[in-house]
Structure 1
Amino acid sequence: MKHTNLFKLIFFFVCVITSGSVWAQRSEQLLEKGWRFTKGDVKGAETPGFDDSEWEAVTIPHDWAIFGPFDRSHDLQNVAVTQNFETEASVKTGRTGGLPYVGVGWYRTTFHAPAGKQITLMFDGAMSEARIYVNGKEIGFWPWGYNSFYFDVTPYVNKDGQANTLAVRLENRPQSSRWYPGAGLYRNVHVIATDDIHVPVWGTKLTTPHVSVDYASVKLLTTVANADNKDVRIVTEIVSPEGKIVAAKDNTRKITNGMSFEQNFLVNSPMLWSPESPSLYKAVSKVYADNRLVDEYTTRFGIRSLEFVADKGFFLNGKHRKFQGVCNHHDLGPLGAAINVSALRHQLILLKDMGCDAIRTGHTMPAPELVELCDEMGIMLMVESFDEWDIAKCENGYHRFFNEWAEKDIVNMVRHYRNNPSVVMWSIGNEVPTQWKPEGCKVAAFLQEICHREDSTRPVTCGMDQVLSVLDNGFAALLDVPGFNYRTHLYTEAYNRLPQNIVLGSETASTVSSRGVYKFPVVKRHTAMYDDHQSTGYDLEYCSWSNVPDEDFALADDYPWTIGQFVWTGFDYLGEPSPYDTDAWPSHSSLFGIIDLASLPKDRYYLYRSIWNKQSPTLYILPHWTWHGREGKNTPVFVYTSYPEAELFVNGKSYGRQCKLTVEESRALQGKDSLWLQRRYRLMWTDVVYEPGEVRVVAYDEAGKAVAEQTVRTAGKPHHIELSTPHHTLNADGKELAYVTLRIVDKDGNLCPTDGRLVNFRVKGAGTYRASANGDPTCLDLFHLPRMHVFNGMLTVILQAGEEAGTLELQATAKGVKSGSIRINVKPVK
């Protein structure tokens, strides 16, 4: 601890001596290292002289609960889940992931602040009920753990250059969440130093009132704090994605009554932001007062237009499109809730390859790193706020704070992200019980108006599950965009009754499946439950209130007034182990994901990819073809493909060609074939008899020409461990991650799809072992220990680069098979 403080002091004086110009304007310090943490309520922990030497040394972001252990008793709940139509309470195990997130935690560190500056502390998120102390004094409280917030701490910092003590008390109460929320300072903490006259946090508002291929207008409103009755000069340059100055303004105005400083620009031949071409501009503003430069502030933005047209749908930059979106919770699987840019980027790459172009942040404010990555990578965002309003879903949920804090939280959310081009909609809630109450319209109107006041450019929606109620009481009619969670059979009625004449699938499918698990007979049904607590990978099982993907595909294809969907969910997440959401321990993570908790795609990934990805073809076979005891039994084969036709062969014998049915052809089978709708989107051979050997599918294009083939073979005896990764090079920044896929294979490299052996890991060189996961929602192996059972032959190991360049090596060993190893280059940070 003494060495850490000495380093900070040296760093402070170096900055003062060598970078006086930085302190003269604006600086920002990320408080990552040098923190101490303990769990439990500790008296006096906020005071500067408190002895925290026995506390755990941690780096922020940090999630104290992800290290476990898993236990049935953690947050054991006896509740009725009303949004799932439960009327009687029942025991819920694993509802919040079976991890020890409940309780009080304390964090402490020190920081230096330059003399004569205004000092702001900003938290990207703190879980939860954060109480912030500087030098022993409480300077603020913020209850909602998912939101960003900040405090002016200038009156509380030492004026003599001495270190300042920062202490944070956090508390997660039992029954405060419906999923795993994480715990602790799980997002970043910033110290911002500015001149007294400065642009405050989120102090610009940038819009593009006119957008065309020829030119775009850009309107920039800048708030300048502490400048009333002063002549303020702002010089702003608009910088293109290529780094060229494409517009500039130099204006001087007197600031009165806190008014914003307005500047307008024209950008000729703009590069428009879209998922296919996420072009980003910057507005770099220099602020002068009293004839001196007092601040420099950069606003990153994109030039794009949004239109939601009755009967026609959604238009981005004048082009019609439908949302191909997913909902995602905030946890990063085995990493927990602690934010990591590398992990987020890995998730987004997988989703983009699937053809996903949008994410709903269900059901909370996102981390700023996610929004920035979506800006850069081209993914549209529906940013959501609350899962509760004034009526409870959870005994200790947000309803306790709603009346006092809702406006503050919405304001912070909108101001934080209103300049981000990826954000295309605001969502004011998810399945809130208030929706069917008499006061529901009043509350919704209140929240929507705050969004409109703070940002007039984006529409407001809400995820509504009580569709008939909100159609009858006017709740759905008052929203800019009516968003429905499931209830696909009511879409047409909603369209006909609502004035907006558009319908958004704000939450769709909730199909459940386990990677590599197949149940027989193969039939479509809801609430299917088995002794192993898994769900079938044939993608035909769903919850009582949801559906399979094909229904949402058809709604998007058949009706111009549907504007797309957000699938629940892109990734499995900790908690809500539906359909095993009662007393079904050890189930403790969801089965909704298209991609499992280990970031391994399930079969369903390729179904969505075959429909959504228009750039790269898809051809995929399921199930695996290694069965013991199924010889001679019916074992249907499904093929997910973007090609119109394919032929199936088993050990050289043809089972015939199939093509995807048209709308008319599939509807003609309604009442005769339970899978009539699926035949529009899947190729299914339901009469295949299992025999060991080879399954091969040959795909044909529209002209009937064979253009691709895929093969699955029966695996032999497990032989060795195979390791692979897309991350062959990492930066030596102490943060970047490599996701390594581990497979148990036979001597020919075929996956052994039922293997479940324990694998041990050893990591050496320029990095560390971070975590592993296998995607099994019932597995209680701890993520942070260097061992994990494979699930259906596979798992994922996550490695983290160190801060020095070199080679990072992973060695994996298991009984009965040859070991495997992989090396990753860790290069110096430029």
Structure 2
Amino acid sequence: MNMKHQKQLLAVLLMGTACTLQAQRSETLLEKNWKFSKGDFKEASQPEFNDTKWESVVIPHDWAIFGPFDMNNDLQNVAVTQNFEKKASLKTGRTGGLPYVGTGWYRTSFDAPADKEVTLLFDGAMSEARVYVNGKEACFWPFGYNSFHCNVTPLMNKDGKNNTLAVRLENRPQSSRWYPGAGLYRNVHLIVTDKVHVPVWGTQITTPHVSKDFAAIRLQTKIDNAGEKTQIRVETEILSPDGKVVTSKENTSRINHGQPFEQNFIVNAPELWSPESPSLYKAVSKIYADDRLVDTYTTRFGIRSIEYIADKGFYLNGKHRKFQGVCNHHDLGPLGAAINVAALRHQLTLLKDMGCDAIRTSHNMPTPELVALCDEMGFMMMIEPFDEWDIAKCENGYHRYFNEWAERDMVNMLHNYRNNPCVIMWSIGNEVPTQCSPVGYKVAKFLQDICHREDPTRPVTCGMDQVTCVLANGFAAMIDIPGLNYRTQRYKESYDQLPQNLILGSETASTVSSRGVYKFPVEDKKSTKYEDHQCSSYDVEACSWSNIPDEDFALADDNHWTIGQFVWTGFDYLGEPSPYDTDAWPNHSSMFGIIDLASLPKDRYYLYRSVWNKDAETLHILPHWTWPGREGEVTPVFVYTNYPTAELFINGKSYGKQSKNDSSLKNRYRLMWMDAVYEPGEVKVIAYNKDGKAVAEKVVRTAGKPHHIELVSNRNELTADGKDLAYVTVKVVDKDGNLCPTDNRQINFSAKGTGKYRAAANGDPTNLEQFHLPKMHTFNGMLTAIIQAGETAGEIVFTAKANGVKAGNIRIQTK
């Protein structure tokens, strides 16, 4: 399928393969009873090695997140070429200031039937994983972000009992540009099957035709170890989102010449997958070999069509739309890189409320749980594997393995996620230095061709930041969908020169701000630094190479050939503390996030929400109104709202109405009273609809003396599975419940009952307090504490105490 010359790319929908626990197949998470030690041990792969003094851990596990923070952890003296730096400088906190560098070992044991096929599947292991079973190496996989699997049947003990599994992991210094995490930070699966079976990621579902009336479903199933004379029969039922059988097929074959087993179905009046209605089907296949049931395999998928039409844009199920997306790194703030479904769901819930409908996995292959949640919750995905190809960004980065491993890594990624309906394009790289090589297009074509071969239903993009290079050398012209990182001033030029007649904002904005921090005077600034190492939440500051959100809003609104954006970033993350990245310790986390490291929305969240969330009312005032010493000084007030007009009152005095207009870029999307003067008391805003009717009101008051701690949990009931989480917002407030926005006192935590305190964060990019300790200072009056359920039903009583204010208590049920 020649995708380059097609102006219309029709794709369809897909999956998350989940295997049912039938007698022929079982899949178990290897979570508990692991031993861990950092350091290298010559004999640790051997069954007789004594690990009794090692730490007992539960997988997923990130050994580095517990700290402590230190400027000397992975201190890098480098020039960041993608930021146009010509000379090396000391980059402090670039990878988060956490001790991720080094070697670590994990050991456990498992049982499996001796007469079965046994496979170990690792969703990700950071990094350079060497897997040993009973003292013999089972497989090696260097890339820490990719899922990989190995058949360990020949290495099993004869009786199948007490098999020793050991995993050696090593993180090298200067191997990353951000915090990568360390250890077995994603899940490990033990898969047991019959000899004849469907292998890992063994199905591929496509939908050659999608309409309101019917959809055509094509299912290809790979079957391992079926001899040439074996008669294979596959019985498949297609289940609707409500679990009813909507169609079925039974097909038999004795000869398939090594090709996957193919079945075709018609689903009448299909429920189409979209962010607004994420309907999911299942294909349940029973595999018979010579009339013996040998496997049952379930493939979850969705039905939807995608089209990228030159000069028109992106169409989902025949409807035009633009991506309202964000980029995210993989760490979960104070939880580190260790995957947790409840934490991912919490992130996506916040993004959904903001109006976000798409995620770019930057710049790494995601965990399967994230992709499954995007299927379920309705987020389109751009899945991206690499931050560098054959030319280095980091001394010990992926370029060391690219030539040997890139295709294998790409195939694993594509097979893992090509059935997921949420995936609407692949990205092959981010700001790779190879883009400016005269033959860089050849490397890009190599990767794009792998995508086309393994999945002909989706287009390919690449995040390109060196616009002059890629326009001149043919690199951008060859990519299915040209993706520009920033460079808003060159969108039109790129559109005019490129044959695709479409431009994607593959990475946008990189506005910087610190939650609750406001700088005066309020001015648009680039790469500005302050003595307190913070950035202003008036949302007018960016890095030298980036821009404020308004520019990207306007590009999307004004040009039919732009297909939307992916903002850098949805959440703050560990590492890359621009603009405080050069000799600027203690900064060690980003400031790009719309939501901070504590999962607390910044003001910018409401700016995006006012534009993106068409179904909700947004009316947000900034800054706070507690400014001792600023009495009588100009203190501009901004309002982010979905309404066209609002009126500002300070202590009852009107500062007049402001309406969104085209007089300036910011005036299109913000209401601003630049002449507002601070006086203690009350700020009130009344919003008006397009007919001039008052429809909403918001008030912010000057805070009094700190009085008590207020606790608000995102959930009051947890599943008693030992994994579920509640995010508790901790606020210091006055007697009337007004946030005290300048309060930074230490809060001490305790949790009793059927759960435990897990971690806390306050969103301050300079804060060096360890996340797992039961104490932390508030940042501008707030922080977040995370509570984890135990494995028994009951009640968790969480308490937050601090000197000088009344304690807060909250009760959370576990069931």
TM-score by length of 2: 0.97
Amino acid at match of 1:217: A
Q: Are residue 305 (structure 1) and residue 287 (structure 2) matched?
A: no
Is the CA contact 1:436–1:473 (under 8 Å) kept in the aligned structure 2? yes
Cα distance in structure 1, aligned partners of 2:296 and 2:525: 59
| Residue number in structure 1 paired with 2:163 | 164
Tell me the residue number matched to 1:81. Answer: 80
Alignment partner of 1:718 out of 692, 706, 716: 706
Query: What's the secondary structure of 1:451's corresponding residue?
Result: helix
Corresponding residue of 2:408: 408
Compute the displacement of 1:564 (Å).
0.1
Q: Which residue in the other structure is 1:35 paired with?
A: 34
Q: For the residues of structure 1 that align with 2:322 and 2:435, how far apart are their CA atoms?
A: 26
Distance 1:551 1:23 in 2: 54
Question: 8 Å contact 1:365–1:384 — kept in the other structure?
Answer: yes
Q: Is the 8 A contact 1:255 1:261 kept in 2?
A: no
Aligned length: 795
What's the CA shift for 1:227?
A: 1.3
Instruction: Verify the 8 A CA contact 1:773 1:783 in the aligned structure 2.
Output: yes
Q: Is 2:22–2:296's contact at 8 Å kept on the other side of the alignment?
A: no
Write the letter of the residue equivalent to 2:72: S
AA paired with 1:335?
L
Residue 35 of structure 1 aligns to which amino acid in structure 2?
W
Q: Which amino acid aligns with 2:338?
A: A
Q: How does 1:733-752 map to 2 (within 5 A)?
A: 733-752=721-740
Are 2:62 and 1:63 equivalent residues in the alignment? yes
Q: Give the Cα separation in 1 of the matches to 2:529 and 2:655.
A: 31
How far, CA to CA, are the matches of 2:341 and 2:508 in structure 1? 27
Q: Does 1:695 align with 2:674?
A: no
Q: Write the distance in 2 (CA, Å) between the matches of 1:518 and 1:545.
A: 22
SS in 2 for 1:220: strand
Shift of 1:29: 1.1
- Structure 1 runs, 4 residues or longer, greater than 3 Å off: 21-24
Aligned with 1:327: secondary structure?
strand
Structure 1, unpaired ranges of 5+? 1-20, 667-675
CA distance in 1, matches of 2:727, 2:200: 35
Note if contact 1:23-1:193 (Cα within 8 Å) is conserved in structure 2: no
Q: Secondary structure at the match of 1:185?
A: coil
Match of 1:183, as an amino acid?
A
657 and 280 in structure 1: CA distance in 2 versus 1, 3 angstrom threshold: same
Deviations 1:406-437 (A, max 9, x none): 00000000000000000111000000000000
8 Å Cα contact 2:21/2:27 also seen in 1: no
Distance 2:98 2:797 in 1: 30
- SS, match of residue 74 in structure 1: coil
Equivalent residues of 2:640, 2:671 under 8 A apart: yes
Tell me, in whole angstroms, the C-alpha distance in 1 between the residues paired with 2:25 and 2:429: 36
Aligned residue number for residue 328 of structure 2: 328
Do 1:127 and 1:172's aligned partners in 2 also have CA atoms closer than 8 Å?
yes
* Conserved 8 A contact 2:797-2:811: yes
Residue equivalent to 1:288: 288
Q: Deviations over 1:339-385 (max 9, x none)?
A: 00000000000000000000000000000000000000000000001
CA shift at 1:605, angstroms? 0.1
Specify the code of the residue in structure 2 equivalent to 1:558: D
Measured against aligned partners, the alpha-carbon deviations of 1:535-566 in whole angstroms (never above 9, x if no partner) come to 00000000000000000000000000000000
Output the amino acid matched with 1:210.
H
- Given that 2:358 and 2:380 are in contact with CA atoms closer than 8 Å, whether structure 1 keeps it comes out as yes
Q: How far is 1:139 from its partner?
A: 1.1
- Matched to 1:149, the amino acid is F
Task: Tell me, in whole angstroms, the C-alpha distance in 2 between the residues paired with 1:690 and 1:255.
Answer: 82
Structure 2 residue aligned with 1:447: 447
Deviations 1:720-747 (A, max 9, x none): 0000012010010000000000000000
Deviation at 1:256, TM superposition (A): 3.4
Q: Which residue identity is paired with 1:54? A: K
CA shift for structure 1 position 680: 0.2
Q: How far, CA to CA, are the matches of 2:234 and 2:454 in structure 1?
A: 23
The letter of the residue matching 1:555 is: L
Aligned match of 2:3:
none
Alpha-carbon deviation of 1:589?
A: 0.1
Partner-residue secondary structure (3-state), 1:413: helix
Instruction: Give, in whole Å, the separation in 1 of the partners of 2:118 and 2:477.
Output: 45
Tell me the residue number matched to 1:518.
518
CA distance, structure 2, for counterparts of residue 415 and residue 114 of structure 1: 27
Q: What is the deviation of 1:254?
A: 1.8
Give the distance between the partners of 1:518 and 1:159, measured in 2 at CA: 67
d(CA) in 2 for partners of 1:141, 1:733: 32
Paired position in structure 1 for 2:783: 795
The residue aligned with 1:506 is 506
3-state DSSP of counterpart to 1:374: helix
Alignment partner of 1:409: what SS? helix
Q: Following TM superposition, by how much is the alpha carbon of 1:113 offset from its aligned partner in structure 2, in angstroms?
A: 1.0
Cα deviation for residue 47 of structure 1 reads 0.3
Amino acid at match of 2:157: N
* Aligned partner (choices 761, 765, 768) of residue 777 of structure 1: 765
Once the two structures are TM-superposed, the CA of residue 228 in structure 1 deviates from its matched residue by 3.8
Contact 1:207 1:218 in 2 (8 A): yes
Please give the residue correspondences for 1:376-455 in structure 2 after superposition, counting only pairs within 5 Å: 376-455=376-455
Question: In the alignment, what sits opposite 1:194?
Answer: 193
Identify the residue that residue 752 of structure 2 maps to in structure 1. 764
> What secondary structure, in the 3-state scheme, does the structure 2 residue paired with 1:557 have?
helix
- Larger mean CA deviation between 143-152 and 157-166 belongs to 157-166
Local SS of the residue matching 2:231: strand
* Cα deviations by residue, 1:561-586 (Å, 9 ceiling, x for unpaired): 00000000000000000000101000
Question: What SS is found at the alignment partner of 1:785?
Answer: coil
CA shift at 1:257, angstroms? 3.0
Report Cα offsets for 1:773-817 as digits up to 9, x if no partner. Answer: 000000001000000000000000000000001110111110111
Matched, 1:352 2:352: yes
More moved, 709-718 vs 220-229: 220-229
Q: Which letter does structure 1 place at the counterpart of 2:547? A: N
Matched residue of 2:254: which SS?
strand
**What SS does the aligned partner of 2:61 have?**
coil
Equivalences for residues 483-498 of structure 1 within 5 A: 483-498=483-498
Partner of 2:457, secondary structure, is coil
Question: Which residue number corresponds to residue 231 of structure 1?
Answer: 231
Determine if contact 1:737/1:801 at 8 Å carries over to the other structure. yes
Amino acid across the alignment from 2:73: H
Aligned to 1:182: 181
Offset, 1:161: 3.0
Cα gap change, 1:136 to 1:312, in 2 (>3 Å): same
C-alpha displacement at 1:23, in angstroms?
7.3
Helix, strand or coil at the partner of 2:490: helix
**Structure 2: which amino acid aligns with 1:437?**
S
Verify the 8 A CA contact 1:721 1:817 in the aligned structure 2.
yes
Instruction: State the secondary structure of the residue aligned to 1:138.
Output: strand
Separation of aligned partners in 2, 1:255 and 1:538: 67
Other structure's SS at 1:551 match: helix
State the secondary structure of the residue aligned to 2:643. coil
CA RMSD of aligned residues (A): 0.8
Residue deviations 1:234-289, cap 9 Å, x none?
Answer: 00000000111001000001243321111000000000000000000000000000
Equivalent residue of 1:702, what SS?
coil
SS at match of 1:489: helix
Aligned counterparts of 2:188 and 2:374: Cα–Cα separation in 1: 21
Q: Quote the Cα distance in structure 2 between the aligned partners of 1:183 and 1:655.
A: 54
Cα-to-partner distance string for 1:445-467 (whole Å, 9 max, x where unaligned): 00000000000000000000001
Q: 2: CA distance between counterparts of 1:288 and 1:275? A: 37
Aligned match for 1:822, one of 788, 810, 813: 810
| Secondary structure of the corresponding residue to residue 113 of structure 1 | coil
Identical positions, percent: 74
Q: Which has the higher contact order (CA 8 A, sep 6+)?
A: 2
Equivalent residue of 1:331, what SS? coil
Q: TM-score under structure 1 normalisation?
A: 0.95
Aligned to 1:117: 116
CA contact (8 A) 2:205 2:219 kept: yes
Cα distance in 2, alignment partners of residues 533 and 620 from structure 1: 26
Structure 1 residue 482, shift from structure 2 partner: 0.4
Aligned to 1:140: 139
CA contact 1:214–1:269 (8 Å) conserved in 2: yes
The answer (yes or no) to whether the contact 2:624–2:741 under 8 Å persists in 1 is yes
